A and B are shown apart, each in its own frame.
Chain A
Amino acid sequence: MKFTEAVAAALALCLTGSGAAAAPSSGPPAPSAPSGPQVNPQTSFEEGIAALQAGECKKAEKKFGEVLSIASRHAEANYYMGLAKTKCGKDKQAIKYFERAIKERENFVEAREQLALASIRLGDRAEAEAQRDAIKSIVAACTDETCDAPYVERAKKAAAKIEEALAPAPAPPAAEPPADDEPLGDQPGGAAAAAAFEPLFLTDGDAGAARYREAVKLINQQRYAEAIEDLYLAQAISGPHPDILNYLGFAHRKLGKFVEAKDYYAQALAMNPDHLGATEYLGELYLETGETKLARKQLARLEKLCPFGCAEAEDLARLIAVKESARAASTE
């Protein structure tokens, strides 16, 4: 699979209104009340995409607002929220969401493109030029497998589109609706406790879950960079899920990117504080960074969460024991 192609297809849908198949409707069976605490981010995400396709910008805003209330840093949800704002004529707000998507994922060229286009509409040509240049230097600097041919193709198209929009004389700034300056829709941790997550691994008949299982296969084969592409795609299809964030953390850690890894674990745990995998892997990260005390704290937490034992606790306990006996041997 190539993440880049498939994600392009998934992202393009919102702009063209075609390809409803990429937005699976079979999510976990949790109820989704509009304003109550019972938000299911997968369902809201799918409904948001459907609303975008149907051109219902207000509904899309609301749905991605729900998603972001649980996962404020989900790159795609921020991007889609930006699109919804754009469609509702709120470019100024849209910009904040595109910026946030880019902050979460540097090489998110679609978000950069939309940020540039919205900036041009607001009369900020310098920002658009900056985004165009950023896209060009990302392509120039990227050599690993995340920058395969289709990705480069998309990036070039995005840069060309910005170029095209920059060409004519700048339009007068669009009139903004007065109520445009509302805060970003995130209350980290707010609704998180109420969100119910089925293990994605066990979810049948769902395109995002199937993609997630492909990522698990790649992780089992230690093909981490490719796994990350599949995980991004999984979350682009089915919205934020702590299982995806957890494996994003795992794969980044295995590639030696501890800062990113820690950040993904934190996001997974913000969505589900009892997430066994993220609790375990954060402990493993602490072991790798020499913070054994913190690792033991993670183990204590797992033992509490698993009264009948679980693989997560067993594995972390084993790794701590190995580390400690190695240290004992080296200090003798």
Chain B
Amino acid sequence: MSLLASLAAAAQLGATAPAAADLSEARWLAPDTDVLAFLTEAPGECLPATLRTSAAAQVEAGRALFRSPLIFGGPAARYGLSCNACHRDGRSNPRFFFDGLSGEPGTADVTTALFSASREDGVFNPRPIPDLVGAGAKKSLGSAGSFHDLEAFIDAAVAEEFQGDVEPSLVAALAAYLRALDPAACTGPRSIGLATALADFRRALDAADAALARADHALADALFLAALQDLQRVAERYRPLPALLSRIHAKAAELTSARRAAAQSPEAGRAALRRFRSGLADFDAALSAAQADSLYDRDVLAASLKR
């Protein structure tokens, strides 16, 4: 970033600079975390680039849902917790910490009433958050070993631990995603930027379209919401740039209309999605042009974190 650009960014940030906690990605962190490193680098996913086509749609749907807080209910959904918040990129998260839920950083008590309506076991028993690569092939899941079936485990996690509404097709998609994770496909640490965020967004939209093509209403609707949540994460990074922020909001409104159309009929929804996508290239370009002044930029982010 140029000196002038950074001065301009600093001036704009003065008014609206978010605290680290304002980025929902940084919400569940141990106090001594290197927040800058956390927000600019992720562990890297272990998803093979080319999947058998029959499974690909399911896996992509599961991938988007894995990142969406809105598959949950209760406080988890309200405060932006997702599978991905704990299992970052489908891995673990050594920096995860939430007061009352975690013991050591990287652990969580998944049998507490803090998020759950039915799972309180009366004991504070945080467990290390496991890497999920290879979990799909396991014979028993969880440290109690009480689940022998991935679908049953996920169903219970969503419905009982996080008060979500579980539709079988959502559970199937999440399971397909986890089964597709492959130790041979791990990329190693990746950097987080506008490009990766927009890629997540587009993949969620593709998955929504594929679900509409199969007339799977519940899955499609959850994927529209997942895409909107992807867009929200982008918006958080553009908070210092009001003009782009309102552009992102306009896109969200357009996508919300497409969601409504899809609820009426899959065909109308797909048509609305196609129109939405035709405007995306311009949108992406505008965001890219300003990336250096957004919180995707390491220096801008670092300056905002210092405040």
Contact = CB atoms under 8 A, between A and B. Distances in A.
Given A220-B116, A314-B70, A309 B228 contact: yes
Contacts of B115: 220
A308 B232 CA distance: 6
Interface stretch (A148-156, A161-169, A201-209): A201-209
B100 A213 contact: yes
Nearest to B165: A318
Nearest to A221: B113
Contact of B252 (A205, A216, A217, A308): A308
Nearest to B117: A220
B266 interface: no
A29 interface: yes
Interface string A296-320: 0000000100011111101100000
Contacts of B163: 220
A218 to B, nearest CB: 8
Given A199-B79, A309-B229, A213 B114 contact: yes
A277 interface: yes
B112 interface: yes
A220 B21 contact: no
Contact of B70 (A216, A217, A309): A309
Nearest to B101: A213
Contacts of A202: 21, 27, 79
Contacts of B252: 307-308
Contact of A220 (B114, B228, B231, B232): B114
A217 B231 contact: no
A82 B278 CA distance: 64
A144 to B, nearest CB: 21
A300 B228 CA distance: 18
Contacts of B78: 201, 276-277, 310-312
A210 interface: yes
A311 B73 contact: yes
Interface of B: 19, 21, 27, 31, 69-70, 72-75, 77-79, 99-100, 112-117, 120, 163, 225, 228-229, 231-232, 235, 249, 252-253, 256
25 contacts: A29-B19, A201-B79, A204-B99, A205-B99, A213-B114, A216-B75, A217-B112, A217-B114, A217-B120, A220-B75, A220-B113, A220-B115, A220-B163, A277-B78, A307-B252, A307-B256, A308-B232, A309-B228, A309-B229, A309-B256, A311-B70, A311-B73, A311-B77, A311-B78, A314-B70
